[in-house]
Amino acid sequence: MTLESMMACCLSEEAKESKRINAEIDKQLRRDKRDSRRELKLLLLGTGESGKSTFIKQMRIIHGAGYTDEDKRGFIRLVYQNIFTSMQSMIRATETLKIPYKYEQNR
């Protein structure tokens, strides 16, 4: 019988619980330290609209767990907005460049 096990029988229930919690915290700290050694940090520099966010999103899709349903729902409005903006740009470009419509009813 070790000294520690002999002392453990003299501890109150509260002290035993505190000791158990402390051991769990120490175990979690060791796990976190081990995990942080495997984690890489990357600083992406670039001007606005240079693709930094797109790069991160692609890495998340390819190597991560992807997106939650809530994240996906949040992108719906953005996707529609991008489609609408692109269509407006194309219409303005056809007018600026005087590109005729193939079918007049599409005007």
Is there a single domain that holds both residue 58 and residue 89? Answer: yes
30-60 CB burial, b ≥16 within 10 A, e <16:
eeeeeeeeeeeeeeeeeeeeeeeeeeeeeee
Is pLDDT of 84 > 90? yes
If one counts the domains in the chain, the total is 2
Residue that wins the pLDDT comparison between 10 and 89: 89
CA angle, 60 then 89 then 104, to 5°: 130
Output the average pLDDT for the chain.
Answer: 85
- Shortest CA distance to 42 belongs to which of 32, 29, 55, 31? 55
Residue in 36, 18, 37 with CA at minimum distance from that of residue 26 = 18
Residues 48 and 83 in one domain: yes
Q: Is 49 annotated as a binding residue?
A: yes
Consult the annotation and say whether 54 binds a ligand. Answer: yes
Same domain as 23, residue 11: yes
Looking at the predicted structure, is the pLDDT value of residue 20 above 60? Answer: yes
Is 51 annotated in some ligand binding site? yes
